[in-house]
Structure 1
Amino acid sequence: MTIYEIIILAIIQGLTEFLPISSSAHLILPEQILGWRSHGLAFDVAVHVGSLLAVMIYFRDDIVRLLMAWLQSGFTKQQTSDSRLAWFVIIGTVPAGLFGFLMKDWIELNARSALIIATTTIVFGLALWYADAKASQKKSIDKITLKDTVLIGIAQAMAIIPGTSRSGVTMTAGLLLGLDRESAARFSFLLSMPIIMAAGLFSALDLVEAQHAVDWTALLYGAAFSFAAAYLCIHLFLSWISRIGMLPFVIYRLILGVVLLFFVFA
């Protein structure tokens, strides 16, 4: 890849990893419109590392607080709101981990077509609109229950289907369960960390087994630009989401889905 392609793809990955607009739908566009080649396994690992570092650094205070509360609860047997939230992040990760482990190869072979990505981009975009428009949005993040966690975790597992958007479907589930917009987004971001880490590790293992030659300059640029885009995205999204709502992202998803359908049937 050229430096230009590396920067564009890294920024796309960094932004779309956390916005509810589907990273897979965007990463297919350069191939469909510009004829770019697939970015490859090593680059995929690099941009995942960049995104993971961004969300971990942004939420570093939350991570430390939740981790300390979780460890303390193991010794004292007393649960606090922070230790419960830490457990819920762990529990909410399980469905996606199991589904990903069991279905990853099948999805790769059967569900990565432009038609499927366009369809899921539109369908789950409309689901996000419904959740944002109709849900009560009264619960804060410290009011999340075990039932909420399991349902959001199951929703996250659905994101293995390309075009769904991991952040989009978890925010949709959170809103439908009564969480306010910022709480739905924050819980989605916290849930993203184990999943992004697992995806990066599996990709890294595949990379080691494949024994590809590695362009370290490309990987460094990819990780750096993915980190910058993801960090800025998280900050702005959390700052604006209570005011602007999900409608701009819904409209964007619908337009994106239609564009993809155009390339499918053109």
Structure 2
Amino acid sequence: MSFLEALILGIIQGLTEFLPVSSSGHLELGTYFLGVQSEDNLLFSIILHGATACSTVVIFREDILEIIKGLFKFEWNESTRFAAMIVLSMIPVGIVGVFFEDQIEQLFGGNILLVGTMLLVTAGLLAVTYFSKKNEGEITFKNAFLIGLAQAIAIMPGISRSGATISTALLLGVNKQKAARFSFLMVLPPILGAMLLKTKDFLENPAIAANVSGMSLSVGFVAAFLSGLLACQWMLSIVQKGKLIYFAMYCGVAGLLAIAGGLLW
């Protein structure tokens, strides 16, 4: 993987992690058309997701500090309730990650027909939210679990994690701002857990990253982090203004183009 390829993929990851267009799907398309070897994708993808997790921490640093302070009061309060809902939302993706890891890795092998199809699914999810007008509710434990199910399904390359989770929250009647906040904060524990597992795999078998230099990983991380900061702030504004329909259109077009590319390329 070259310096330029790492830079391009890092920017793609940073922008698409928060925008509801599927970061994993766009990374698959990017690596496919750039000709990056598929065996490098998973490790590089984890590093880039770590970068966007750091972007999330920076944007939501006050919220995170408030939650931590509340937890250390060792009492049932708004912070412990929110943290408990985050833990509940992690259960579906945790089960999928633990029991279906090998099957998941096989999805990340340049199958752009799959990516294109799943982008159409994302388009459908986003389009449906356009007709959802009652969005004044709170995040409940039931909602948190259902949003967690959406996050587990979004492991598929081409289904946007933020698109799936925010769309699910809006369809459940959750307030737009609270839906976006919960969606972005709930992904932090799974990403950090995945990074720890992949770090363990790397230490046991360094050959899995033989074709990715430390410079490429560093460039990708910085590019994803900086572009992620911009995209996260933009997405918060987009959700509040109810402009997800435009991303539904984009995903629809991108999905059709990916399918066409997979059939003709």
TM-score normalized by structure 2? 0.90
**How many percent identity over aligned positions?**
34
User: Which residue identity is paired with 1:136?
Assistant: K
Instruction: Give the direction of change, closer, same or farther, for the CA distance of 1:110–1:32 in structure 2 (3 Å limit).
Output: closer
Alignment match, 1:18: 18
- Mapping of residues 115-126 of structure 1, within 5 Å: 115-126=113-124
Alignment match, 1:231: 229
CA distance in 2, matches of 1:205, 1:253: 35
For the 8 Å contact 2:107–2:156, the answer to whether it is kept is no
User: Which residue identity is paired with 1:263?
Assistant: G
* Pairwise CA RMSD: 1.9
CA distance in 1, matches of 2:155, 2:242: 28
Alignment match, 2:69: 68
Determine if the alignment matches structure 1 residue 181 to structure 2 residue 179. Answer: no
User: Which residue identity is paired with 1:170?
Assistant: T
Instruction: Give the direction of change, closer, same or farther, for the CA distance of 1:188–1:13 in structure 2 (3 Å limit).
Output: same
CA distance in 2, matches of 1:220, 1:14: 14
CA distance in 2, matches of 1:147, 1:103: 24
Any idea what SS the aligned residue of 1:155 has?
A: helix
CA distance in 1, matches of 2:65, 2:234: 22
- Could you give the per-residue CA deviations for residues 198-254 of structure 1, whole angstroms, max 9, x where no partner exists? 222222222222213462222221111111011111111113332252011111100
- Could you give the per-residue CA deviations for residues 67-98 of structure 1, whole angstroms, max 9, x where no partner exists? 221232x3x4xx22232112111211121111
Instruction: Count residues in correspondence.
Output: 259
| Offset at residue 5 of structure 1 (A) | 0.8
For the 8 Å contact 1:44–1:203, the answer to whether it is kept is no
- Mapping of residues 39-78 of structure 1, within 5 Å: 39-72=40-73, 74=74, 76=75
Alignment match, 1:86: 83
User: Which residue identity is paired with 1:14?
Assistant: G
Alignment match, 2:199: 204
User: Which residue identity is paired with 2:124?
Assistant: L
Question: Any gaps of 5 or more consecutive residues in structure 2?
Answer: none
For the 8 Å contact 2:48–2:224, the answer to whether it is kept is yes
- Could you give the per-residue CA deviations for residues 134-171 of structure 1, whole angstroms, max 9, x where no partner exists? 251122xxx21111111111111111222112111111
User: Which residue identity is paired with 2:51?
Assistant: G
- Could you give the per-residue CA deviations for residues 22-62 of structure 1, whole angstroms, max 9, x where no partner exists? 11221122344343334445433432221121111211111
Runs of 4+ in 1 over 6 A off after TM superposition: none
TM-score normalized by structure 1? 0.90
Question: Any gaps of 5 or more consecutive residues in structure 1?
Answer: none
For the 8 Å contact 2:42–2:108, the answer to whether it is kept is no
Any idea what SS the aligned residue of 1:134 has?
A: coil
User: Which residue identity is paired with 2:49?
Assistant: H
Any idea what SS the aligned residue of 2:187 has?
A: helix
CA distance in 2, matches of 1:145, 1:244: 22
Correspondence for 1:107 among 104, 109, 115:
104
